[in-house]
Amino acid sequence: MNAVLFGPPGSGKGTHAKSVAAALGIPHVATGDIFRRHLKEGTELGQLARSYMDKGQLVPDSVTCDLVASRLEEADAGGGVLFDGFPRSVAQVEWLLGWLAARGGSIGVVVNLLVPDAEIVQRIAGRRACLGCGATYHARANPPAQAGRCDRCGGDVVQRADDGEDIVRERLATYARETAPVLAVLRGAAPVVDVDGVGGIEAVQARVHAVLPRG
């Protein structure tokens, strides 16, 4: 079964993805993480993605869908995946539904995390991530034990380049313009469950897990 974690930037998709993927027994596929990995490795795709990420814009659909297609063809994706940060445009959701339909697949659940814009701006301003392993923190709500050092791997904990205030505003505008309309398409194709994303990490996690289908 496939599942989608949906919601604006900063709504907590990345925070909850690991436990949701584990509960569903499927791998976590986050397009933003894949682009950041390419960026770090200095690949051509990474260079291309950076030019869009730095402006808070979407990487072109054809590039993103090709990337997802090759990820879905890997052996561990055969039983479905948890999408995080994808689909993010109407073209992407239409491509995904077509890809799944051609293979007898479907989306079993879409978890739509609801968080107001004002809270998002505040959350992202404090968001920090480890350059080594990608673990996420929050400067105030969930800091690492030692400032700037990852609890998990000892790597540098920094603010993401695209979490600066101006780029965040662009990302929110991009979400409203290009990503929000995806929800209507998903509602026509899969069970979509709205979940209140405001509150502590554990409280939201419990709400998310409560709406997951039981295997």
Report the catalytic residues: 13, 88, 127, 160, 171
In the complex, least distance from residue 57 CB atom to ligand AMP, rounded to whole angstroms: 6
How many residues sit close enough to ligand AMP to count as binding (CB under 6 A)?
17
Q: Which of 52, 138, 189, 194 binds ligand AMP (CB under 6 A)?
A: 52
User: Does the footprint of ligand AMP cover residue 85 (CB under 6 A)?
Assistant: yes
- For the window 185-214, what string marks contact with ligand AMP as x by the rule CB under 6 A? ------------------------------
Residue 140, CB-side half-sphere exposure with 13 Å CA sphere: 6
Q: Which of 16, 38, 88, 127 binds ligand AMP (CB under 6 A)?
A: 88
Q: Which of 3, 53, 168, 195 binds ligand AMP (CB under 6 A)?
A: 53
Question: Closer to ligand AMP at the Cβ: 45 or 215?
Answer: 45
Question: Closer to ligand AMP at the Cβ: 58 or 111?
Answer: 58
Q: 3-state class of 158 per DSSP? A: strand
CA distance 86 to 48: 18
DSSP 68-102: HHHHHTSGGGTT--EEES---SHHHHHHHHHHHHH
In the complex, least distance from residue 31 CB atom to ligand AMP, rounded to whole angstroms: 3
Write out the two tokens for 123. 């959350």
CA distance 114 to 109: 16
Other Cβ atoms less than 10 A from the Cβ of 196: the count is 12
| CB neighbour list of residue 83: distance below 8 Å, 6 or more residues apart | 2, 3, 4, 5, 29, 31, 96
In the complex, least distance from residue 214 CB atom to ligand AMP, rounded to whole angstroms: 28
User: Does the footprint of ligand AMP cover residue 31 (CB under 6 A)?
Assistant: yes
Place of tokens 């993927």: 21
In the complex, least distance from residue 30 CB atom to ligand AMP, rounded to whole angstroms: 6
Which positions lie near ligand AMP, rule CB under 6 A? 9, 31-32, 35, 52-53, 56-59, 64, 85-86, 88, 92, 162, 171
